Amino acid sequence: MGVEKQQVGAYYQLELFEDWVPRSHGDTGNGGTGAGTHEERQTFTASNERRALAQNLMERVCNLANLNRAYKGVKANKGSAGIDGMTVKDLREWLHTHRDEFIASLLDGTYQPAPVKRVEIPKPGGGIRQLGIPTVVDRLVQQAILQILTPDIDASFSESSFGFRPGRSAHDALRQASRYVAEGHIIVVDCDLEKFFDRVNHDVLMARVARRIGDKRLLRIIRRFLEAGIMVNGVCMERYEGTPQGGPLSPLLANILLDDLDKELEKRGHCFCRYADDCNIYVRSEAVGRRVMESITQFLENQLRLRVNRDKSAVAHVSERKFLGYRLHQGGRLLVVPQSWQRAKDRIREITRRNRPMPFEDRIEKLNEFLLGWVRYFHLAECRTKLERLEEWT
């Protein structure tokens, strides 16, 4: 086909997927801009503009630059194949063959996600975490949606929310928590959500997503991602709740739902830090902490339909609880929890065990990679002496 343009719906098709070129939304087909008269443009207020953008999100999702960036993002993230066995390397060839109907299905709202593949991985503290691995095509769609939604939606999130947000990190959450403790908020209300990603109520979540999105095609596709089945041992199981960990869109959806919790805590004037589903509220006394725990538990269970794990939740002095692998102490000091030290030793033993065949240079490279990453994450902690002992032990 060379470089000859061939119209496909609202798009022109060139030789490569990377060259999808969208037609201007203002093209009237008669040489005009479609912008209307000056008076008409004046009446098109900012609120109307926002509403129009909200109603035409799928066109933005399918925009040339956005699809290209999503494609590159999926390739960079790599990851396992989904239930169809298609790898990231296979994606380009698939797009060459199916790109016409792929983009058309997104624009007309008929795109249907495939079931996710369930993968179980051990949690660092024991137990099993269930991941849902979408197909690479579904990951491409989710990534394209994520890139369009994040700039507008993320800007409305709380300043005390840190997980899975651009420009924010676990270290930012820890620094803020340290400031709260230094100011005298030495009691923490540690509220543990039971299997959060597995228990999200779809109706409650979609009601909150619909507050922010006016494009019904996009809402339908997001709902289909939530309701896509789970493939277990060759059998597809229907899913009525949960947003599976493993897809690019799940963290944003989780933050949209838990933003209601953030806004409720802000309304009440509480000091808190939330990283994904890990939320700590800092108060000055245990009596206040117990009242906060009771009221917030009722809010989570009644308003957001989430379950609070009462066995793992607690109101305690900050030094008795952990947050993101750290422990806070009087004055806001940050230390590494014993479990993190033990996991580091376990990993070092695994890399250096004698019955693991590996060239010595590769072993050193893996060991340095782990140690540098570990130290980089825990660099906020006061642990110089322990690090020296760990080095000697290694």
The CA–CA distances, whole Å, from 241 to 48, 51, 199, 201, 230 equal: 34, 30, 6, 5, 12
**306-328: per-residue pLDDT in tens?**
999 999 999 999 999 999 999 99
The pLDDT of residue 88 is above 70: yes
State mean pLDDT over 59-80: 89
% pLDDT > 70, the chain: 83
Cβ partners under 8 Å of residue 252, min gap 6: 146, 149, 150, 153, 154, 164
Q: From CA 209, how far away is CA 201, in angstroms rounded?
A: 12
Q: What CA–CA distance (Å, rounded) separates 384 from 391? A: 11
Q: What is the pLDDT of residues 255-311, one digit of tens each?
A: 999 999 999 999 999 999 999 999 999 999 999 999 999 999 999 999 999 999 999
Instruction: Read off the pLDDT of each residue in 200-217 and give the average, rounded to a whole number.
Output: 92
Q: What is the mean pLDDT of the chain?
A: 84
pLDDT category of residue 376 using cuts at 50, 70 and 90: very high
Does 131 score more than 90 pLDDT? no
Check: CB of residue 258 under 8 Å from CB of residue 277: yes
- Report strand pairing: 230-232 vs 116-122: parallel
Name the phi and psi angles at 34, rounded to 5. 75, 10
The whole-number pLDDT of residue 120 equals: 77
The pLDDT value given to residue 233: 67
> Closest Cα to residue 82, out of 136, 15, 131, 29?
136
For strand 128-133 and strand 116-122, is the pairing parallel, antiparallel, or unpaired? antiparallel
What is the per-residue pLDDT for 163? 94
Range in 210-219, 334-343, 350-359 with the lowest mean pLDDT: 350-359
- How many angstroms separate the CA atoms of 189 and 288, rounded? 9
pLDDT level of residue 45 (50, 70, 90 thresholds): very low
Q: State pLDDT tens for residues 96-129.
A: 888 888 999 999 888 999 998 888 777 766 667 7
Residue 4 CA to residue 7 CA, distance in Å, equals 10
Q: What is the mean pLDDT of residues 187-209?
A: 92
What pLDDT score does 282 carry?
A: 98
